[in-house]
Amino acid sequence: MTERLPQSVLFCCDHNAVRSPMAEGIMKKFYGTGTYVQSVGVHNDMEIDGFSIAVCQEMDVELQRHRSRSFDEMEEWGDDLSSFDLVVALSPASQRRALELTRFYHLDVEYWPIIDPTGLGETRETKLASYRQARDQIIAKLKEKWGEPTEMT
């Protein structure tokens, strides 16, 4: 049984450079603009990962212009954590940070255990395979939660 789409979702991971931008981009492609979707990291010390850009480009999800940001920067830029209906943590560190930041708010935090593909694989092809595995895990979790894509163009 799939759920109705929430009004707003925040995806988070360690650096907002691999998993959470992929989840943000894929969710926007699958379900359109009816849900406000953003992503954030525990840290902002990396730019968007080139392998993430490549594996999302394979399915026409554009991540090239993504700018990484941290939880702290998100609030500085005017996105209030309490305005999100759901926070989806894609790494243990981001789950801890989200729970710490949301203890005063009434909003749901879910943990989706998505592999961290960074550092996996020796060649370009094996690295891409690891990133595709993370992407495909995200796709499976999105479909499991909210059903088949409604906006695929």
Q: Mean pLDDT, 10 residues at a time, over the chain (153 residues)? A: 87 93 96 92 85 96 90 80 90 91 81 93 92 97 94 63
Token look-up 């906006």 returns: 151
3-state secondary structure at position 54: helix
Which letter does DSSP use for residue 60 in this model?
Answer: T
Task: Give the model's pLDDT for residue 1.
Answer: 62
Task: Give the model's pLDDT for residue 67.
Answer: 87
Q: What do you get for the CA distance between the two ends of the chain, in Å? A: 25
Task: Give the model's pLDDT for residue 100.
Answer: 86
Closest CA to 22 of 145, 126, 96, 116: 116
Which domains does the chain possess?
8-146 (3.40.50.2300)
Q: Which amino acid is at 102?
A: T
The two beta strands, 36-41 and 8-13, are: parallel
Its pTM stands at 0.92
